[in-house]
Amino acid sequence: METTLARTGGYTNAFTSPDWTAYFQTLPSSALEIALLFEADRMANSLFDHLEVETERTVILSEREGNENEPQFLLGEAVQQAAFKQHPYRNEVLGSTQDLLSLTRDDLYGHYRNYYQPSNALLCLAGSFDIDEALSLINKHFEPIENSEPVRSIPIPENEITSAQRVELDGPGETDYIQIAWRSPKASDPDFFAYSLIESILSGPSTLNMFGSGGIGNRSSRLYRELVEKQVAASVYGSLSASIDPGIYTLYITCRGDHTPDEVIYRIDQVIDTFLNETPSIEEMIIALKQARANFAYGSDNITNQAFWLGYAQSFADYSWFTDYVNRLENVSREDIIRVARQYLDPAHRVTGIYRNRNGAANGS
């Protein structure tokens, strides 16, 4: 498939989020039928050969083992599991070692036959093509595929982190790391837009598009100014995702050797406490809006990103979520900011994760 698409000047890949899996091709519009042919074949005729399953299992286990050498991966997984008690969002997308070892070929094939069918898929096209011709090709390749309603497992959303939790790990290295997670609203919640500006003010805006085209820095954010500019931490950034169910907003901090994690957390708490008790200034709102708007534009700046947004927005709301995103950000008031911040950023409802290096670099030893 990759070779055939490459001959057209095209490109193909795939990726998985906590909510869905996507396969995509970017190729000349004259080669549209090739992409549709391949995707229809993938949906109906994949075999899951036993040898290929074992080969892929080895590859993914190796990737997992490599990630486990990274302190931030280990800490992130621990924080994620503490932030969700039952919801599948508690699971690392890559999978646990235990699951990767125990999954059988028949498990995988059963999942494939249940979910990979037209009734459970979104087909998104963006580019220069004739609509009637494209619909004819779609019907030609997908209409013959056997179709039924998948057996679904719908999780119960976890709307809050019920109490303050602390997760501590230790391991090799020269650096300490901190991750702090608060619950965030689902993307279809009107408060998600206020939360996006809260993130922009505190830690800088996230690139919601998973292709991550372009982006801006976070030097104007409160936490960067308080932690990095004042040499309390080496780096700080945040992450907020548009998800089907309530997710988490997470801060990622790399500590300096001359400040302990507890000292850094104390400074973070000071910033958050001030934020919860003072309405942001008009100037700060303007900067936050400008940054969030710019980041959103970077994530929509090519045809691949635009096709991505067709499906992404539809997965948790509808396409108008994408087209109205900037307008809804502009309608967020300073009162909305403080209301949503007080609802979600309560220190009594968060997970604080610390990775301490065994060499004791952060405490001066």
Order of strands across the sheet that contains 233-239: 165-171, 350-357, 177-184, 247-255, 233-239
User: What is the total residue count of the chain?
Assistant: 365
Task: Give per-residue pLDDT as tens, 286-298.
Answer: 999 998 888 888 8
Give yes or no for residue 365 having a pLDDT over 50. Answer: no
Give yes or no for residue 364 having a pLDDT over 50. Answer: no
Q: What is the pLDDT of residue 356?
A: 97
Task: Give per-residue pLDDT as tens, 300-335.
Answer: 888 899 999 999 999 999 999 999 999 999 999 999
| Residues of the chain above pLDDT 70, percent | 97
Global pTM reads 0.93
Tokens 């004819």 found at: 136
Two tokens at 343?
Answer: 């609802």
Q: What is the pLDDT of residue 40?
A: 97
Give yes or no for residue 215 having a pLDDT over 70. Answer: no
Percentages (nearest 5) of helix, strand, coil residues in the chain: 50, 15, 35
Q: What is the pLDDT of residue 299?
A: 82
Q: Alpha carbon of 260 to those of 5, 216, 232, 273, 287: distances in Å?
A: 52, 29, 9, 20, 31
Give yes or no for residue 361 having a pLDDT over 60. Answer: no
Q: Which domains are present in the chain? A: 2-142 (3.30.830.10), 165-363 (3.30.830.10)
Task: Give per-residue pLDDT as tens, 334-348.
Answer: 999 999 999 999 999
